[in-house]
C-alpha cells in the first residue's frame, strides 16, 4: 500500500483506515476478498450492528462503498446522497453513527464525473429550477471560485467544504473530533484506477 496515512490520526481511526485502504487496493487490483456477504453474516448481526466506519458517499451508481473498500454486511455505516450534499438528515445520520455506534472514522467520499458537480457548474447561480436543496449544499463552494472549473477539481473543493460544514454545524461531530474519538478522512474516488485518494 503506497498511500501515506495522515500523521495526526488517532490510533483507532488509523487501524480502520489502513484496513479500508487495503480493501480498496484489493478492489483496484481485481482481487476482492470479503466473505461477509452471506445470509449467515446477516443473521449474526440480526439484532445489533457494530460498523467500524461511517462513509458519506454519492448516490452515483458507480460509487458503492462496500465494493470499493472490499467490505461486507455490518462493516460500514453508509450515508449515500447525491453529491455528498450535507443537509440536515444527512448530518444527523452521520451523528447517529458517531454518537450511538461510536465509529472512529468518517470517510467523505467524493468522486470523478459527479453529476451534481456538473449540474451545479452548469446552472450556477440559478436557484429557481429543480434540485434546490441539493444545489444549496453545493453553490456556496462555487461562490468563492470560478464556474469554469473542472468538475473533478470542484468535487474535491466541495468535499473540503462538507468537512467544514459538518464541523461548524454539528456539535456531536465537532466534539468527537476535538476529543480524538473521530477522524474525518477527505477522499476522492478515481474511476479509472478504482483507487480512493486523500484530498489535501
Ligand atoms: Zn456524484
Answer whether residue 3 shows pLDDT above 80. no
CATH number (domain holding residue 120): 3.40.1050.10
108, 157 Cβ separation under 8 angstroms: no
Residues 6 or more apart whose CB falls under 8 angstroms from that of 37 comprise 72, 73
Q: Is the residue at 39 inside a domain?
A: no
Q: What does the pLDDT look like over 9-45, one tens digit per residue?
A: 999 999 999 999 999 999 999 999 988 999 999 999 9
All 3 cell numbers of residue 177?
473530533
Residues contacting 98, CB < 8 A, separation 6+? 54, 106, 172, 173, 176, 181, 182
Distance 131 CA to ligand 1 centre (A): 14
Alpha helix ranges (H) inside the chain: 11-28, 39-44, 65-68, 88-99, 115-123, 132-136, 139-143, 151-169, 171-178
Question: Rounded CA gap, 162 and 30, in Å?
Answer: 31
pLDDT at position 5, please? 87
Separation of 41 CA from ligand 1 center, angstroms?
A: 30
How many angstroms does the Cα of residue 57 sit away from the middle of ligand 1?
Answer: 8
- The domain in which residue 116 lies consists of 11-31+50-198
- Report the separation in Å between the CA atom of 98 and the middle of ligand 1, taken as the mean of its atom positions: 24
Per residue in 99-156, pLDDT tens?
999 999 999 999 999 999 999 999 999 999 999 999 999 999 987 666 667 899 999 9
Q: How far is the CA of 185 from the centre of ligand 1 (A)?
A: 18
- According to the model, what pLDDT value does residue 4 have? 82
What is the pLDDT averaged over residues 157-180?
A: 98
CA of 46 to the centre of ligand 1 (A): 31
Distance 154 CA to ligand 1 centre (A): 11
Answer whether 0.75 is exceeded by the pTM: yes
Mention every residue, 6+ apart, whose C-beta is less than 8 A from residue 132: none
- The answer to whether position 1 is within a domain reads no
Residue 164: what pLDDT?
98
Euclidean distance between CA atoms 49 and 66, whole angstroms: 15
Structural domain count of the chain: 1
**Beta strand 53-57 with 105-111: parallel, antiparallel or unpaired?**
parallel
Q: Is residue 58 part of a domain?
A: yes
DSSP 145-199: S-SS--HHHHHHHHHHHHHHHHHHH-HHHHHHHHTTS-EEEEEEE-TTT--EEE-
User: 84 CA distance to ligand 1 centroid (A)?
Assistant: 7
Has residue 98 been placed in a domain?
Answer: yes
Amino acid at each position: 500500500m503506497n498511500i501515506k496515512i495522515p500523521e495526526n490520526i488517532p490510533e483507532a481511526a488509523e487501524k480502520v483506515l489502513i484496513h479500508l485502504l487495503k480493501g480498496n487496493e484489493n478492489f483496484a487490483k481485481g482481487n476482492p476478498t470479503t466473505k461477509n456477504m452471506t445470509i449467515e453474516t446477516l443473521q449474526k448481526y440480526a439484532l445489533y450492528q457494530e460498523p467500524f466506519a461511517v462513509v458519506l458517499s454519492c448516490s452515483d451508481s458507480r460509487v458503492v462503498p462496500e465494493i470499493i473498500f472490499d467490505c461486507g454486511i455490518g462493516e460500514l455505516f453508509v450515508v449515500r446522497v447525491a453529491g455528498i450534499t450535507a443537509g440536515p438528515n444527512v448530518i444527523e445520520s452521520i451523528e447517529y453513527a458517531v454518537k450511538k455506534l461510536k465509529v472512529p472514522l468518517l470517510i467523505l467520499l467524493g468522486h470523478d464525473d459527479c453529476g451534481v458537480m456538473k449540474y451545479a457548474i452548469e446552472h450556477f447561480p440559478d436557484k429557481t429550477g429543480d434540485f434546490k436543496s441539493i444545489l444549496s449544499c453545493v453553490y456556496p463552494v462555487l461562490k468563492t471560485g470560478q464556474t469554469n472549473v473542472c468538475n473533478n477539481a470542484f468535487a474535491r473543493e466541495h468535499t473540503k467544504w462538507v468537512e467544514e460544514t459538518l464541523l461548524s454545524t454539528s456539535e456531536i461531530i465537532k466534539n468527537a473530533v476535538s476529543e480524538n474519538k473521530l477522524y474525518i478522512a477527505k477522499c476522492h474516488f478515481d474511476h479509472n484506477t478504482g483507487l480512493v485518494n486523500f484530498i489535501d
